[in-house]
Amino acid sequence: MNRLVIGVNTAMFDGLDTDIAFSTIKKAGFHYVELAYNQGYVGDMPPELFGAENAQHIRELLEKYQLSTHSLGATMNMGAVDAVEQFGKRIEFASMIGAKWINICVGRHADRARIIENLRALAPVAEEHGCVICLENGGDPNYDVFRLADDGFGLLEAIDSPAVAFNVDAGNIVSLCPDVNPIEQAIAMLPGAQHCHLKDLQVIDGEVHFTPMGYGQLNYVPMLNALETRAIPCSLEIPLRMHRQRDSYPVRGASPIDPAYSLDVLIQSRLMLEKWLGYAL
């Protein structure tokens, strides 16, 4: 059986210095990092974020904390007029920091034709840089072009490139498609997946709040077994600063989360994952 590789997405450190994020991830006992450079979900993202200077800074931090990265969160509207130009910069940045899988919620169903056209143009760029664009099932109507498995496989068929796959997120299914079984749907997506986000949650008064793994309402055990079988790498994505409203749209809290709390959440999550998996991460 393959042992799962599980890292940490930096969304939980939204608003904090990257050094703090990497230090906390290391203290929590993880070895892999996924930067959360997601349009609309974290703070400002100036163009310099995807430049060579920041890439060098990230490489230095990875070395400082003896961490690795294999994925990059880069959600943006792939239906935008300048999407090819903007996402091309993200591909170059991913290549510079050593991230193979670029995870992206891509946009609205109304823009499906343009999204497919843009992804067809970007797929060979990703392949040239040794990267794979991983389409993520969305969690709110801004990203409803890929809601469930059939939507995703339809996109893969239309784009038809080995440089495009899925990043599966069961938690997003809860908010955008509350009437389906999120774990069953997520497992149905795995044949097209090369990466996965793991998050647990509680729905309280119709709003989604994120919890440590194993402390929410999702039973990940059968999905972890399926991920092991396919050797699909994962990241814990626990965006503690935000929650989802009843309409599924995200709301960011006014202040960053105390890193000490994030550390506790990560340690609780790691211990639960190790209990489920039967081995140390």
The pLDDT score that the predictor gives to residue 202 is 97
The pLDDT score that the predictor gives to residue 210 is 98
The pLDDT score that the predictor gives to residue 45 is 79
Under a CB-based contact definition with an 8 Å cutoff, are residues 120 and 161 in contact?
Answer: yes
Q: Which residue has the tokens 């995703």?
A: 152
- Tell me how far apart the alpha carbons of residues 51 and 53 are, in angstroms, rounded to a whole number: 6
Residues in the chain: 281
Q: Is 6 exposed, middle or buried (0-12, 13-18, 19+ CB in 10 A)?
A: buried
Please name each of the domains of the chain with its CATH number.
Answer: 6-277 (3.20.20.150)
Query: Mean pLDDT in each 10-residue stretch from start to end of the chain (281 residues)?
Result: 93 96 98 92 79 98 98 95 96 98 97 98 98 97 97 98 98 96 98 98 96 98 96 97 94 95 98 97 95
Question: What separation, in Å, do the N-terminal and C-terminal C-alpha atoms of the chain show?
Answer: 14
Q: Which residues pair with 120 in a beta bridge?
A: none
